[in-house]
Structure 1
């Protein structure tokens, strides 16, 4: 009887009042909250829309200025939510011995990512980036909008389209939803603090009905197929114009693949690949969306991203600089250029490394990173010849890097979802 593989591997509407912010100190809580009025179709168990004011919309928009590492850290500490494979990647850094980093500062700024927009978060009603920023100043912004113009009212749809309230907004909205009378909907006011916003962010990344999932505790999964295996890699391949000139040096990694299921069990990689993965945690969410945007995807986070452009064009944002900050936030200047595979750095940024050189690592399908033993596990398994397992070499360039970055937000089988597709593609290409 052949050994089992596991034996070898251990690895809003006009005329309706909406109170969007209350000082929670009067309610026995130190955590500030904002309030959202949702309108629910009880028969369908679906949020049809919500109404709110500028302070909540600003917090939604602040999602895009959060580094991915901050999203992973907050999700673990506030809501027990796993954000794709970012959670495992982040925990890998926590567990990786300090001796593998160039210095202690390198590990610290990955565990506690530096946010180039930290001073803005300090002025919002709910600050999602709760670490003390480097050099940030905190202004007294009570009652003053930071990103959008003061005293603006908005409609938020279930899939996170943000619409300014205008005289005809209600009629247009009701018609688009197939509703004849708003009074037939159940009205509920929700209090949103950090945990609720993080849940909303999580659902926006993987569904097109984020408000419904927030209200019903995550029972309404997206009906689309946008998160199926291989889709992330293919959509990134076809939609990103930033990979057309893939002139950077390519590197090779080894994948251990279970042939019958076409899944990646793990990868054996050198420093370059781990540096790439660790760089993900320094990138603001908006930069990830800009680099990997798939216009065909109905995910709510894409609608929220598009709302920034529409409101900016309609002059609802405070300035063009605010629009630029939301759509194209910068990686904090504290970070050196650790990879050439992602166009995320200012050209003036010097090269550097998070890790010491000359190490080999094992990366699992969900991006858990561990140090490889002195003897190559993959080489040993390949030599033994385990049934149903093969070692596959994959070349990593900008296309693959962008696909892995995109998949890390939503998938817990990143290497399978991305690299199996690229393996097939590379095998099909004639050798030069």
Structure 2
């Protein structure tokens, strides 16, 4: 039997080489929404394994994930800690097993004769949906469809080219990656990344609403701010690396255990929306309209919890339930070097300086700066990890209480 697949029909403007909108049943949309349940480590794994988008980087997640893969097992507390990071568990895995394509699995799942046909997992009932290029999702209804088509400037649907796709595990992995880096993920998928990210074009306000204020954040315990030393190239105002202790690396590693929906809840920012941001808002809107089975399903998608097997490795992020015990991924280690794109290595400082000299950066152009890391700074780095390959540089001038040591 072949791998399962969900069908998508897209309508393309051939002249513009742009997907105008798509039509899908609830099985496709449920898998789309399940992106929000995936831990960032799973997203990094799917991203790194997808051959068709190797050159597309999801911020600094790829290098952070790769550094964990490369870090010797002797640095971890036990044999299970590394596995828990490179193959993270999902709190929603049991429910997502019912989906036609479950991206939480390590491998594509083969279709089985015993599977229940047509089971609706997230929605109350079987429904057809319109999906815009930037992943706004609305039910197919006469009034909203007319409003949307007018908004998109489409007078005659039959002038658009119709394309049909059966989305399997690999195709959903590809769409997931595009949804994180562009606001035209369907166009990039259909035209294999040949179309650059265009200006943000949201659904009209009469169609899209967002209301997530009723979902409480998990509060973090008050903690003392700790310091990290940054080596900065003064001439380019660029962070070369950070010299960090265990607390900072444990915080970075914890990123990979956080489900995407929870990350979006923590770092809500619509200044540069991507497809995943618009999809997140669509979940909220459909939940408000009572299209989802329950408020529990809505909360699971918009604020998914960490899997129950993860202990509290950092107090810098509000991601743990109050009852979770303290733990750690790493053994005690005197010094880590963290690169600008969040690659983590265990390396003597002098060899790092030698590397900079080899790159033509003289010692006189290197400044050492000390920054305090608290919850606000941790969230800034988390956001940059998803959006930038120079995460530390992007956060540098947002850090408070930074001071030069030389």
The TM-score bracket by the shorter chain reads 0.7 to 0.9
Q: 2:325 aligns with which of 347, 350, 374?
A: 350
Q: 1:44, CA displacement in angstroms?
A: 1.0
**Partners of 2:363 and 2:378 in 1: CA distance:** 30
SS at match of 2:253: helix
Q: 1:51 aligns with which of 9, 19, 23?
A: 23
Q: 1:208 aligns with which of 183, 197, 207?
A: 183
Moved more, 273-282 or 170-179: 170-179
5 Å-filtered alignment, 1:125-144, equals: 125-131=100-106, 140-144=115-119
5 Å-filtered alignment, 1:30-69, equals: 30-69=2-41
Q: Are residues 381 and 249 of structure 1, via their aligned partners in 2, closer, same or farther at CA, if it must alter by over 3 Å?
A: farther
Contact kept, 8 Å, 2:76 with 2:330, in 1: the verdict is yes
Q: Which residue of 2 aligns with 1:9?
A: none
Q: 1:378, CA displacement in angstroms?
A: 6.0
Contact kept, 8 Å, 1:88 with 1:366, in 2: the verdict is yes
Q: 1:400 aligns with which of 377, 385, 388?
A: 377
Answering whether residue 244 of structure 2 is matched by residue 262 of structure 1, we say no
Answering whether residue 195 of structure 2 is matched by residue 220 of structure 1, we say yes
**Partners of 2:171 and 2:43 in 1: CA distance:** 13
Q: 1:416, CA displacement in angstroms?
A: 0.7
SS at match of 2:142: coil
Q: Which residue of 2 aligns with 1:173?
A: 148
Q: Which residue of 2 aligns with 1:150?
A: 125
**Partners of 2:356 and 2:279 in 1: CA distance:** 46
Moved more, 34-43 or 197-206: 197-206
Q: 1:421 aligns with which of 386, 397, 400?
A: 397
**Partners of 1:140 and 1:44 in 2: CA distance:** 41
1:234-275, Cα deviation, whole Å (9 max, x unpaired): xxxxxxx98999952111111111112111111111000100
Q: Which residue of 1 aligns with 2:163?
A: 188
SS at match of 1:119: helix
**Partners of 1:401 and 1:333 in 2: CA distance:** 22
Q: 1:72, CA displacement in angstroms?
A: 0.8
Q: Which residue of 1 aligns with 2:67?
A: 92
**Partners of 2:350 and 2:83 in 1: CA distance:** 30
1:175-219, Cα deviation, whole Å (9 max, x unpaired): 101111111111111222222212212222221111111111112
SS at match of 1:426: coil
Q: Which residue of 2 aligns with 1:15?
A: none
Q: Which residue of 2 aligns with 1:234?
A: none
Contact kept, 8 Å, 2:50 with 2:174, in 1: the verdict is no
Return the TM-score normalized by structure 1. Answer: 0.81
**Partners of 1:94 and 1:390 in 2: CA distance:** 31
**Partners of 1:243 and 1:330 in 2: CA distance:** 9
**Partners of 1:43 and 1:301 in 2: CA distance:** 26
**Partners of 1:84 and 1:63 in 2: CA distance:** 17
Q: 1:379, CA displacement in angstroms?
A: 11
SS at match of 1:168: helix
Answering whether residue 280 of structure 2 is matched by residue 305 of structure 1, we say yes
Contact kept, 8 Å, 2:312 with 2:325, in 1: the verdict is yes
Q: Are residues 210 and 385 of structure 1, via their aligned partners in 2, closer, same or farther at CA, if it must alter by over 3 Å?
A: closer
Contact kept, 8 Å, 2:242 with 2:339, in 1: the verdict is yes
Q: Are residues 223 and 244 of structure 1, via their aligned partners in 2, closer, same or farther at CA, if it must alter by over 3 Å?
A: farther
Contact kept, 8 Å, 1:144 with 1:150, in 2: the verdict is no
Gaps of 5+ in 1: 1-24, 133-138, 226-240
Q: 1:105, CA displacement in angstroms?
A: 1.1
**Partners of 1:118 and 1:260 in 2: CA distance:** 48
* Root mean square deviation of aligned Cα: 2.6
Q: Are residues 355 and 308 of structure 1, via their aligned partners in 2, closer, same or farther at CA, if it must alter by over 3 Å?
A: same
Answering whether residue 46 of structure 2 is matched by residue 74 of structure 1, we say yes
Moved more, 279-288 or 298-307: 298-307
